[in-house]
Chains A and B, each alone.
Chain A
Amino acid sequence: EPEVTQTPSHQVTQMGQEVILRCVPISNHLYFYWYRQILGQKVEFLVSFYNNEISEKSEIFDDQFSVERPDGSNFTLKIRSTKLEDSAMYFCASNEGLPEQYFGPGTRLTVT
């Protein structure tokens, strides 16, 4: 069964550093998403992406965040200058246009 994959599984970085989280969505999917979940809190929407453009972004997704589909398979989330409060699980999701979204295993980001 095809699945969304994410790398790395765990990333530790120092405050102020840039990080790039990588995702490989399911191959025939056209819509891509990033969500985050701070420990003990609910899953929060960050951004949706379709046809090489951002479709929607939340208030959390400020100028420090960017997304890119650099080739036909990868979908990345970049945080330019990490803050302590960026520590969270980051989940990538994809779908082919139906509402149901399928999530990757997540990247645990720890900012020290």
Chain B
Amino acid sequence: RKEVEQDPGPFNVPEGATVAFNCTYSNSASQSFFWYRQDCRKEPKLLMSVYSSGNEDGRFTAQLNRASQYISLLIRDSKLSDSATYLCVAFYNQGGKLIFGQGTELSVKP
């Protein structure tokens, strides 16, 4: 089983739509979780940290369910500039390594 698993995508949505991404993780030792975004062939950029029960930042809301080992990202009122690949990431205290999911591609159309 993959350590971090995401919806395969791609998601093609119109501007203004609400879109949700899901992610599951297999190792309950994971302490922290993140959503990064990656534009084509560029570096991952931190979008949001997801601690305890989740958090909100503007149009973005991340939720964590430790019992189900499930993380989600909700994007409201999507913009053309939101088009990117969204990476679900788990952090392990041992060695401080990040484990990435495969990523979910989002394409927002006019």
Contact = CB atoms under 8 A, between A and B. Distances in A.
Does B associate with A? yes
A103 B99 contact: no
A75 interface: no
Interface residues of B, number: 23
Contacts of B34: 99-100
B44 A33 contact: no
B95 A103 contact: no
Interface stretch (A13-21, A40-48, A63-71, A79-87): A40-48
Contacts of B45: 103
A55 interface: yes
B96 A31 contact: yes
Interface of A is mostly: strand
A100 B32 CA distance: 9
Contact of A48 (B44, B87, B95, B103): B95
B60 interface: no
A94 B103 CA distance: 21
Interface string B51-76: 00000000000000000000000000
A95 B44 CA distance: 14
Contact of A42 (B31, B32, B97, B102): B102
B44 A103 contact: yes
A99 B91 CA distance: 7
A102 B49 CA distance: 12
A33 B49 CA distance: 19
A25 interface: no
Contacts of B31: 99
A-B complex: 10 closest residue pairs judged by Cβ atoms: A56-B95, A103-B43, A43-B100, A45-B97, A99-B91, A99-B32, A48-B95, A55-B95, A42-B102, A42-B100
